[in-house]
A and B are shown apart, each in its own frame.
Chain A
Amino acid sequence: MAQILVIGIGNEYARDDAAGLLIAREIKKQAREGVEVIELSGEGAALMESWKGADTVIVIDAARSGGMPGTLHRFDACREPLPAETFRGCTHAFGLYQAVEVARSLAQLPRRLIIYAIEGRDFAAGIRLTPEFEQSMPAAVDAVTREIVALEGDPSR
């Protein structure tokens, strides 16, 4: 298994909901050794299955908590419960938030689980990102890349 698992989640046919997938694809292009990148829809049970046995996991998703489009949230899911309101708009009835918290209840969280959630504006059916959201994507890719670099250098990992 790769040392770091990066999971991009979303729906590329629901405009800004594609964010997690698009950022993950940029990370994949970097072809970093020991980093595996996968894409999922965000359905919770599949997420829980995907990180089973993984040591260090980064999940990237779109958020719709009403914040400024492009705002990047970072959560260390092993240290604290996720704020439900940030993930309330998930398209899945059993999505990322539920997967993390059910996994916590069942003691099935990875040793390290970092969640990045980027605020979107428009989640209607469609294939284009909203412009202000698209502009914030490179900064989000940078932030996730820096996280990976920091984790790669983390001796506790």
Chain B
Amino acid sequence: MKNKTVKVDFLARVEGEGGLYVKLKGKTVADVKFRIFEPPRFFEAFMRGRDFREAPDITARICGICPVAYQMSACHAMENALGVMVGGQLRALRRLLYCGEWIESHTLHVYMLHAPDFLGYQDAIQLAKDHPDAVQRGLKLKKIGNEIVNLLGGREIHPINVRVGGFYKLPSRREFADLAERLKWARDAALETVRWVATLNFPDFQPDYLFVSLRHPDEYPFNEGRIVSNRGLDIDVRDYEKRFEEQHVEHSTSLHSVLTGSPPYCVGPIARYSLNFDRLPEPIQQVAREAGLGPVCKNPFQSIVVRSVETLYACEEALRIIAQYEPPESPAVKVEPHAASGCACTEAPRGSLYHRYRIDDRGNILDAKIVPPTSQNQNSIEQDLREFVTARINLPEAELQWQCEQAVRNYDPCISCSTHFLKLTIDRQ
């Protein structure tokens, strides 16, 4: 039997640090290990003793790419603990802020990180040389997402205008009107993006996923909903920890999240889309169909199309919210602390992000729990690799390696704010 070890120094185009190890014995995949190092644990400890109002801004530092998601989950969890409801225009503005984050995060991944895989380029630098118009369109589209986050969040990176109960300051109608003009361009660019990525070639790979995402009675989910799966799970967020648990695995400093008694589950764009297709407006459903997607998408390589469809939805939704904007009387609902605990789950670009906090009667944080999407997807990534490599075990080494990296990038794994890069090792025995 042929013994072979292939080692790659690093897997580029993923956020943060981690490792991927694939062990092959002859014609079978003997082992797959995906390791990440997990900064949220540091933040959980760091938050103990801090004021509950600080949670959104501190947790926003966990990720430079999706700070809004951390802020939203933190705000909703604190409001859940303290029995506060944020409705009306303030609720709509939170959705608008989330639209901004989805646009910037998804567009970055689609154009700069994932598209090079499909078009045979090492990275966005090479892509930009041959496809400058596409890259410029991606950069400009991403910038509109940044502008939304900047306007509502106070600044693009680590926004500071979000608070438990709402916002510190609200933009003027005039500012929204200016933004709407640019969003109309963004909507067209997003549509062009869907059509562009629909022309890519996707490997034939459709695992039988267990999808998990939020689902809301009326909306495509951002901030609220029940946690559902495609196999009958339908629970209130308060019951999250009764069904989901985190397990230590030897090969990772990160906890692996599991749905008790179930196979690995998948969160993120393809899960969200597949569980909420009927919540997309009909014209966007039509665009998705024309791009080759059905109401369920089980091919993780098509996640690039799903991200593009979600970006288009985020542009449409942002325009709708701005068109219906009426300045509320106050930028925030008053929140007074008391001893309590609460939790929330919102849909980060990469999937469900769960936060739970316990605070004392003065509002000091006693403990915190954060379960980011990438930690939930670790088992699913390993499962994908096992299936994917098994069917392609005879591929030449370089091609196998390329496709493995691409398969990991399907998840847009965010290990950001940790360090370094992802190492890939294929060990043939």
- Which positions in A face B, CB cutoff 8 Å? 11-14, 17, 40-46, 48-49, 64, 88-89, 91-94, 98, 101-102, 105-106, 123-126
Contact of A91 among B61, B108, B132, B416 (CB under 8 A): B416
Query: How far, in angstroms, from A59 to B143 measured CA to CA in the complex?
Result: 20
CB atoms of B418 and A105 under 8 A apart: no
CB atoms of B65 and A14 under 8 A apart: no
Of the A-B pairs whose beta carbons lie under 8 Å apart in the complex, a sample of 28, sorted by A's number, is A11-B64, A12-B61, A14-B39, A14-B419, A43-B65, A43-B157, A45-B143, A46-B157, A49-B139, A64-B419, A88-B421, A89-B421, A91-B16, A91-B64, A91-B420, A92-B15, A94-B113, A98-B124, A102-B125, A102-B128, A105-B125, A105-B128, A106-B132, A123-B420, A124-B42, A125-B42, A125-B43, A125-B418
B112 within 8 A of A: yes
Give the interface SS of chain A, mostly helix, strand, loop or mixed: loop
Query: How far, in angstroms, from A123 to B129 measured CA to CA in the complex?
Result: 33
Query: How far, in angstroms, from A91 to B303 measured CA to CA in the complex?
Result: 23
Query: How far, in angstroms, from A106 to B417 measured CA to CA in the complex?
Result: 28
Q: What residues of chain A lie closer than 8 Å to B65, measured between beta carbons?
A: 43, 92
CB atoms of B136 and A45 under 8 A apart: no
Query: How far, in angstroms, from A40 to B150 measured CA to CA in the complex?
Result: 13
Q: Residue among A17, A41, A123 with the most chain B CB within 10 A? A: A41
CB atoms of A92 and B416 under 8 A apart: yes
A16 to B, closest residue via Cβ = B419
From known contacts A41-B64, A45-B142, A91-B64, infer whether A105 and B417 are also in contact, taking CB-CB under 8 Å.
no
Q: Residue among B17, B65, B419, B421 with the most chain A CB within 10 A? A: B419
B123 within 8 A of A: yes
Q: What residues of chain B lie closer than 8 Å to A11, measured between beta carbons?
A: 61, 64, 417
User: How far, in Å, is A10 (CB) from chain B's closest CB?
Assistant: 10
From known contacts A13-B61, A49-B146, A102-B124, infer whether A41 and B157 are also in contact, taking CB-CB under 8 Å.
yes
Binds A, one of B6-14, B72-80, B207-215, B278-286: B6-14
From known contacts A46-B146, A106-B135, infer whether A94 and B39 are also in contact, taking CB-CB under 8 Å.
no
CB atoms of B108 and A45 under 8 A apart: yes
CB atoms of B420 and A125 under 8 A apart: no
CB atoms of A49 and B143 under 8 A apart: yes
User: How far, in Å, is A85 (CB) from chain B's closest CB?
Assistant: 10
Contact of A93 among B12, B61, B125, B135 (CB under 8 A): B12
B347 within 8 A of A: no
Query: How far, in angstroms, from A93 to B139 measured CA to CA in the complex?
Result: 15
Q: What residues of chain B lie closer than 8 Å to A123, measured between beta carbons?
A: 419-420
User: How far, in Å, is A94 (CB) from chain B's closest CB?
Assistant: 4
- Which positions in B face A, CB cutoff 8 Å? 10, 12-17, 39, 42-43, 61-62, 64-65, 104, 108, 112-113, 123-125, 128-129, 132, 135-136, 139, 142-143, 146, 156-158, 416-421
Contacts A49-B139, A94-B112, A125-B42 supplied; 5 other A-B pairs, CB < 8 Å: A13-B39, A43-B65, A91-B420, A92-B416, A124-B42
Q: Which 10 A-B pairs have the closest CB atoms?
A: A125-B42, A123-B419, A41-B64, A105-B128, A101-B125, A41-B157, A125-B39, A94-B112, A102-B128, A105-B129
User: How far, in Å, is A156 (CB) from chain B's closest CB?
Assistant: 28
Q: What residues of chain B lie closer than 8 Å to A105, measured between beta carbons?
A: 125, 128-129, 132, 135
From known contacts A88-B10, A92-B15, A106-B136, infer whether A45 and B112 are also in contact, taking CB-CB under 8 Å.
yes
User: How far, in Å, is B353 (CB) from chain A's closest CB?
Assistant: 18
CB atoms of B108 and A94 under 8 A apart: yes
Query: How far, in angstroms, from A14 to B37 measured CA to CA in the complex?
Result: 13
Query: How far, in angstroms, from A43 to B16 measured CA to CA in the complex?
Result: 12
Q: What residues of chain A lie closer than 8 Å to B158, measured between beta carbons?
A: 41
A10 to B, closest residue via Cβ = B64
B105 to A, closest residue via Cβ = A43
CB atoms of B13 and A93 under 8 A apart: yes
Query: How far, in angstroms, from A109 to B39 measured CA to CA in the complex?
Result: 33
Query: How far, in angstroms, from A106 to B134 measured CA to CA in the complex?
Result: 11
Query: How far, in angstroms, from A101 to B417 measured CA to CA in the complex?
Result: 22
CB atoms of B132 and A43 under 8 A apart: no
B419 to A, closest residue via Cβ = A123
A15 to B, closest residue via Cβ = B419
User: How far, in Å, is A1 (CB) from chain B's closest CB?
Assistant: 18
B42 to A, closest residue via Cβ = A125
Q: Residue among A41, A44, A125 with the most chain B CB within 10 A? A: A125
B145 to A, closest residue via Cβ = A45
Contact of B418 among A46, A91, A93, A106 (CB under 8 A): A91
A11 to B, closest residue via Cβ = B417
User: How far, in Å, is B268 (CB) from chain A's closest CB?
Assistant: 16
Q: What residues of chain B lie closer than 8 Å to A98, measured between beta carbons?
A: 112, 123-125
Query: How far, in angstroms, from A89 to B14 measured CA to CA in the complex?
Result: 12
Q: What residues of chain A lie closer than 8 Å to B43, measured between beta carbons?
A: 13, 125
B39 to A, closest residue via Cβ = A125
Query: How far, in angstroms, from A46 to B157 measured CA to CA in the complex?
Result: 9
Query: How far, in angstroms, from A88 to B15 measured CA to CA in the complex?
Result: 12
